[in-house]
Amino acid sequence: MKVNYHMHTMRCHHAWGKDEDYVQSAIKAGFDEIGFSDHSCWIHDEGCHMRMRVDELEEYLASVLTLKEKYRDKISIRVGLECEFYAEYLPWLKALLASQPIDYILLGNHFYKNDRGFYFGHATDEKWKLEAYVKQGIQAMETGLYAYYAHPDLIPFTGDEAYYEKMMTQMCEKAKETKTPLEFNLLGYVDGRHYPYPPFWQIASRVGCQAIIGVDAHDPAALLNEKAMQEGRAYLKSLGMEIVDHIRFLK
Ligand SMILES: [Zn+2]
Ligand SMILES: [Zn+2]
């Protein structure tokens, strides 16, 4: 099965192309199943510029469900969201997931505590930031809500390597225990970002975690990059990792 559960839409303000263009690219690329996972809105709606607003959610879901129906003979389409783990908003998130036709959510652990908290993707040598990242990731996985952990190696820690290994081992052990696949993020790979981070993947493979490849498409053309997908698979296989092509759905 060729699958990809990590795709965005224009609603997050940093992705391009119509929703339908993503579907058509995915069909062209031979995907069997895809899922939209745009950056989730949050109840507080404080003007974060990288996610949809609460009042856009309904239209987002309707758009994806319309495409699901329209292309049902050509491709299977799922509807999801890429969500942070904000402990204080967890009740709101659970209510949202229970009341809306949402198949799954991905963990996108970008910010500490809320959208005003610091961004985990900036280089840091401060141990407490690494600890905060790992703790938040572990708490998220313990909820059992998240289908997988998107770019789990987002934090570029420039401090003590042994400490990085210790903390990430804890996070990977929780991923294994909760059967949460870790995403090899193709956007980061193709862009030459600081993730996927090889030392992280060494740890994940040693712990025995499952891996999944996510295109993290912010542009329909990203789905056509078969070369990157093959390279990602080859890399994970070279580490002896199990690559999964299915995720758990909420209902
Ligand atoms: Zn994004
Ligand atoms: Zn994403």
Residue 166 domain-assigned?
yes
- pTM over 0.95, yes/no: yes
Q: What type of residue is 235?
A: Y
Q: Residue 162 sits in a domain of what CATH number?
A: 3.20.20.140
Q: How many A from CA of 34 to the centre of ligand 1?
A: 17
* Residue 184 is assigned to a structural domain of this protein: yes
pLDDT above 90 (res 214): yes
pLDDT exceeds 70 at position 171:
yes
Q: Are 246 and 204 in contact (CB under 8 A)?
A: no
Q: Is residue 249 part of a domain?
A: no
Q: Which helix or strand (DSSP H or E) is residue 107 part of?
A: strand 104-107
Residue 94's pLDDT is: 97
Residue 100 lies in a domain: yes
State mean pLDDT over 175-189.
98
Report yes or no on 15 lying in a domain. yes
Confidence of residue 44 (pLDDT cuts 50, 70, 90): confident
Q: What is the pLDDT of residue 133?
A: 98
- Residue 49: nearest ligand to its CA? 1
Domains identified in the chain, total number = 1
Residue 250 lies in a domain: no
Report how far residue 13's alpha carbon sits from residue 31's, in angstroms, rounded to the nearest whole number. Answer: 25
pLDDT of residue 49: 81
Average pLDDT over residues 163-168: 98
Task: Write down the pLDDT at residue 46.
Answer: 66
> What percent of the chain lies above the pLDDT cut of 90?
94
For residue 107, give the ligand nearest its CA. Answer: 2
Ligand nearest to the CA of 35: 2
- With beta carbons less than 8 A apart as the criterion, state whether 234 and 196 touch: no
Query: From the CA of 80, how far away is ligand 2's center (Å)?
Result: 11
Cα(237) to ligand 2 centroid in Å equals: 23
In this structure, the number of other CB atoms found within 10 A of the CB of residue 244 comes to 16
Measured in Å, residue 250 CA sits from the centre of ligand 1 at: 22
Decide if pLDDT at 23 tops 80: yes
Q: Is the pLDDT of residue 43 over 90?
A: no
Percent over 70 (pLDDT), the chain: 99
Task: Note the pLDDT tens digit of each residue in 94-148.
Answer: 999 999 999 999 999 999 999 989 999 999 999 999 999 999 999 999 999 999 9
**pLDDT tens for residues 45-81?**
666 788 999 999 999 999 999 999 999 999 999 999 9
Residue 64 three-state SS:
helix
Q: Is residue 188 part of a domain?
A: yes
Q: What's the whole-number average pLDDT of the chain?
A: 96
Q: How far is the CA of 11 from the centre of ligand 2 (A)?
A: 12
Q: Which-ligand-closest: CA of 82?
A: 2
Does a structural domain hold residue 205?
yes
**How remote is the CA of residue 162 from the centroid of ligand 1, in Å?**
30
Domain that holds residue 179: 3-243
